[in-house]
Structure 1
Amino acid sequence: MIVYCQNTRDVQNAIRWARFHKVPIRVRSGGHHHIAYSTGTGVIVIDVSEMKQVHVNKSQGIATVQAGVTGHELYTKLFQRGLTHVGGTCSDVGISGLVLTGGMGPLLRRIGLTCDSLVRLEMVDANGRIIHATKHNEHKDLFWASQGGGGGNFGIVTSITLKVYPAKPVTWFKIDWDWNQPVEKVIHAWQNFFLKADRRWFSHLDLWPKVFPSKKLKKSPLSAFGVFYGAPKEARRKLAPLLNTGRPNKQTIKLVPWVEAIQLFEESTAVFTGPKPEYKTSGAFAMRPLPPKAIKIIRKTLQNTTSPLLNVLIYSLGGALQDKSPTDTAFFYRKAKLFFLYNVEWLKNESANKRIRELEVLRRRLLPYTRGDYVGNPDTNIKDYLTSYYGGNVRRLRCVKRKHDPDYVFRFPQSIPPASKMTKCP
């Protein structure tokens, strides 16, 4: 059964009903979970997607947002007031889920993660009680855990308060190459540029295989794109190392409104050919720059694969992400240089197992150069998922779980279990 909650009281009632009748609970907001842990068979789905209220206090620079609001809805609402939030690049992701997993987006290097802008949250706990958590009140442990500790682990978030920021025009850049260009040099040049770039820059490097149907999908197989918080003239001058690598077949460097930049990000990172794709995703962080051997693995894999829709999307990290330590929030990978998002889609006449195996082989080949995974891109092939997602913060997260959900009510595959009674917790 599914309960479409209209308010916090509905959430409380659903939790209490589920516990009384001993029915397992799943929590759903944007419904964007890659492995569908937000639903299940023989469960009650507590769905907050219809809780859509947004209250903006421009003078205080904050917005209070109910848990059903998506990134696109919040971007639109804020832009009407000349504001924006530290969001992602996929518009239909629920903003509460983005906060709870950390949230990596275009403002990452300038301001930080989405969860770094969290001011306050309202959550219903395993007993149906309403909790208000901030960084400094009696529920500061829960606030900490909610900054990257994953959705559905500690309770059901019904409202969040976030810092918001002026939405100023920004320079959008996009540089495209074909596969007849020096692919390894392109990857190296992009990495070298963004490892040294200042906080005004954020970028993705989008890599598709040699058999990618570029003409059909009207998309280049190799692209570097992103934003620069400065003038196009300066951006073009500084991007010279990339513009002079090989011969780009297309380049765009222009000043655009912030809301258009978000739309361009979404269009550029689109990976699916239809509205209901069959796909597999995974991820990993690079704590050090990729050596030539790792870059060669990526190039050879994409050059030799028969899968037309195997994709590697690399995020430039650093900047404001590193202003906090790995233990300041539940998001552990503050010191990472890059994030890799691996994705593969298969078509109706293709073998799903074969495509999934290709992605897994690539992920494993890059393990000597990467670490962990982002909880927002979970992977069932990862056995030690707790360490993979949360690194050195696992013990503390399990202690928070034991305090707020000792009966393990919020349980699903790859959820955080409570610490054992033998564990010494703060």
Structure 2
Amino acid sequence: MDEHKETSCPKLTGRIVFPGEPGYNEARLDANFFTSKKRFPDLIVYCQNTRDVQNAIKWARFHDVPIRVRSGGHNHESFSTATGVIVIDVSEMKQLHVDKSKGVATVQPGVTGQELYSKLFEQGLTHVGGTCADVGISGLVLTGGMGPLLRRHGMTCDSLLYLEMVDANGRILHVTKNNEHKDLFWAACGGGGGNFGIVTSIVLKVYPAKPVTWFNIGWDWNQPVEEIIHAWQKFFLKADRRWFSHLDLWSRCFPSQRFQKLPLKALGVFWGTPEEARRELAPLLNTGRPVSTTIEMVGWDEAIELFGESTAVFTSSRPEYKSSGAFALRPLPPQAVRIIRETLQNTTSPLFNVLLFSLGGAAQDKSPADTAYFYREAEFFLLYNIEWLRGENADERICELETLRDRLLPFTEGDYLGNPDLCIDDYLTAYYGGNVPRLRHVKRKYDPGNVFHFEQSIPPAPDKWYQC
């Protein structure tokens, strides 16, 4: 018997949803309907406070029920739910306190990125968040966190100062960079949610929210697509830290009229005037013939909204899609750019998308070993996404996306943990690179019984690693 197994059954607390009860069918689903629609947990506990989390862990261990952890529910592969498990959901833990004088915010894990943006903006502040509005802030921190401030202030996890975590034995751990749990702090900065325990509170640095120049340069497919990709890469490889951008590439059969969006867009923010931005963006503005160009000063809150409005395309409230990704440590060469162009040009999928992130800047101020987030040296991140319409063959679409990812592997490395892909065999190396051994040691120390496990979780280090 596990020496830490509960010998008495604690009472479950919080808002508990069982199969057959009103709301269960909605509660069991994650954001990706495709990966969660056939998953039926035994129960879902919506925790209201840290005590609820402790009770749920202890209850699960007493009854030998596997645990899944969920905040925003945006894991693309739905690792935060499963059949025959208890889902410990912290999405209703939404307390938030801002200390403007100290430049910090104390946030519970149920607060979404957009909720935190909005509350901070009321005080003239912001955080190093992402651009998907309803992603839980704890999930963003624990996977590393990519967003428009990464080139100025680093990854989201680089703003982490403290976290409270409940471990596999139901104990509350207070974790900082310099205390006795500094190894766990390191692992939490990009080592993923649901691997070591359940986060119940975090403290983040916050920053002044200043107006910014928003730009969105759009082309149709009657343009030199490969030249556009090369020009964007060249510009953002050399751009200073005042710039952040996405290059948003949709298939040739993308229904632009339906969504009122162009299929090819270079968009982002610049901390400077629109006049400066227009001058510096000349290489992009002079590539092909842009159909639409917006370069204007906007408030920071509006810029965040524009990111979501410009890139998100869903045909229903329950989308079915496949997502994957890879890092480019150097600019994509002509052969790789040609593969992207040919794939998007020849596909019959209207919703096949490749979204490039400009990395670098402050994200590269730390080394790959400084945090569990490994890909510090990458210049770009490529996000592959394909959504299928009702009646389309999901397997064919998934194969199409994975084929593109495989064809680009000679020019890319790994994948981002916040964008998991079950088709990746060596997922540990793909997500964590050279940090895998250290992460497995941390796992062994804090969860030796592998209580927190799922399809692509971090396993504890094996006994043989400790033998002389």
Fold-level similarity (TM above 0.5): yes
Figure out how many residues of one structure are paired with residues of the other and give that number: 425
**Does the 8 A contact of 2:259 with 2:313 survive in 1?**
no
Q: Classify the secondary structure of the residue corresponding to 1:26.
A: strand
Aligned partner (choices 202, 206, 222) of residue 248 of structure 2: 206
Partner of 1:229: 271
Partner of 1:377: 419
Partner of 1:151: 193
Partner of 1:42: 84
1:97 and 2:139 matched: yes
**Does the 8 A contact of 2:94 with 2:111 survive in 1?**
yes
Deviations 1:130-184 (A, max 9, x none): 0010000000000000000011000000000000000000000000001001000
Distance across 1 between alignment mates of 2:391 and 2:448: 47
Partner of 2:357: 315
Aligned partner (choices 395, 405, 413) of residue 447 of structure 2: 405
Aligned pairs for 1:15-164 within 5 A:
15-164=57-206
Q: How far is the alpha carbon of 1:213 from its aligned partner?
A: 0.8
Distance across 2 between alignment mates of 1:126 and 1:378: 24
Deviations 1:271-300 (A, max 9, x none): 322211110000000111111111000001
Deviations 1:350-373 (A, max 9, x none): 111111111011101100000000
Deviations 1:55-74 (A, max 9, x none): 10000000000011000110
Partner of 1:174: 216
Aligned pairs for 1:329-344 within 5 A:
329-344=371-386
Instruction: Give unmatched runs, 5+ long, in structure 2.
Output: 1-42
1:215 and 2:257 matched: yes
Q: Classify the secondary structure of the residue corresponding to 1:9.
A: helix
Q: How far is the alpha carbon of 1:333 from its aligned partner?
A: 0.1
- Structure 1 runs of 4+ aligned residues shifted over 3 Å read none
Distance across 2 between alignment mates of 1:421 and 1:355: 42
Partner of 2:410: 368
Distance across 2 between alignment mates of 1:52 and 1:208: 36
Deviations 1:388-414 (A, max 9, x none): 000000000000000000000001000
1:389 and 2:431 matched: yes
Q: Classify the secondary structure of the residue corresponding to 1:387.
A: helix
Distance across 2 between alignment mates of 1:90 and 1:28: 16
1:239 and 2:281 matched: yes
Q: Classify the secondary structure of the residue corresponding to 1:391.
A: helix
Partner of 1:254: 296
Deviations 1:14-36 (A, max 9, x none): 10111111110000101111111
Distance across 1 between alignment mates of 2:272 and 2:86: 49
Distance across 2 between alignment mates of 1:216 and 1:11: 44
Q: How far is the alpha carbon of 1:268 from its aligned partner?
A: 1.1
Distance across 2 between alignment mates of 1:181 and 1:343: 22
Distance across 2 between alignment mates of 1:369 and 1:124: 40
Distance across 2 between alignment mates of 1:157 and 1:360: 33
Distance across 2 between alignment mates of 1:424 and 1:86: 39
1:318 maps to amino acid:
G
1:421 maps to amino acid:
D
1:325 and 2:325 matched: no
2:90 maps to amino acid:
V
Aligned partner (choices 260, 263, 274) of residue 305 of structure 2: 263
2:316 maps to amino acid:
G
1:19 maps to amino acid:
R
Distance across 2 between alignment mates of 1:41 and 1:294: 40
Q: Classify the secondary structure of the residue corresponding to 1:366.
A: helix
Partner of 2:8: none
1:279 and 2:321 matched: yes
2:430 maps to amino acid:
S
Q: Classify the secondary structure of the residue corresponding to 1:343.
A: strand
Q: Classify the secondary structure of the residue corresponding to 2:247.
A: strand
Distance across 1 between alignment mates of 2:333 and 2:45: 50
Q: How far is the alpha carbon of 1:233 from its aligned partner?
A: 0.5
1:353 maps to amino acid:
D
Normalised to the residue count of structure 2, the TM-score between the two structures is: 0.90
**Does the 8 A contact of 2:71 with 2:90 survive in 1?**
yes
Deviations 1:251-281 (A, max 9, x none): 0000000000000001112032221111000
Partner of 2:463: 421
**Does the 8 A contact of 2:210 with 2:299 survive in 1?**
yes
Q: Classify the secondary structure of the residue corresponding to 1:422.
A: helix
Q: How far is the alpha carbon of 1:424 from its aligned partner?
A: 4.3
Q: Classify the secondary structure of the residue corresponding to 1:109.
A: helix
1:226 maps to amino acid:
G
2:126 maps to amino acid:
T
